[in-house]
Amino acid sequence: MFNPSLWRVRRFSDAMPEMLQLQREMNRLFSSMGQKSPQEYPAVNIWEKDGKAVVTAELPGIDPEKLDISVSGETVTIAGAALQETFGEDEIYLRQERGIGNFKRNIQLPFQIDAQAVEARYEKGILMITLPRAKEDLPKKIKIK
């Protein structure tokens, strides 16, 4: 009933090249997982507090003098550059996960921003921007006559 000649019997060493090829293909397939695309940098958290939006952005190692924050309508833009560290001639990267180069992130809020009252603070690699809602955009109470 069971005939071993029907099954292809292989030694482990014969299957090794195919297994290595499979491993290379899997590594190639998953190599870019977890990497952030340019529109996702910097990572931000946004919440509303007392009629103001608060945006925090992770920007480790960035010179705050080289950050550009602009506001237009309901959009805030964070732009800057992450510079590459300089090494001596006998130093090389063993791992490089933090991106380098220019970045720009537009964040749209659900209300108009009062550009004159925006405040920004940079501390320990975290940029915090407080964006007050424009007075014209605040909900208005309607008096019934």
Closest CA to 137 of 49, 47, 51: 51
pLDDT tens by residue, 98-141: 777 889 999 999 889 998 999 999 999 999 999 998 887 767 77
Every domain of the chain and the residues it spans = 38-136
At 76 the pLDDT is 94
Q: Per the confidence metrics, is the pTM higher than 0.75?
A: no
Average pLDDT, the chain: 83
Q: How confident is the model at residue 18 (pLDDT cuts 50, 70, 90)?
A: confident
Do 57 and 42 contact (CB within 8 A), yes or no? yes
Cβ-Cβ contacts under 8 Å for 51 (sequence gap 6 or more): 132, 133, 138
Alpha carbons within 13 angstroms on the beta-carbon side of residue 20 total: 6
User: Residue 74 gets which letter from DSSP?
Assistant: T
pLDDT of residue 54 exceeding 90: yes
CATH number, span 38-136: 2.60.40.790
- Positive/negative CA dihedral, 33, 40, 68, 47: negative
Structure tokens at 121: 């603070």
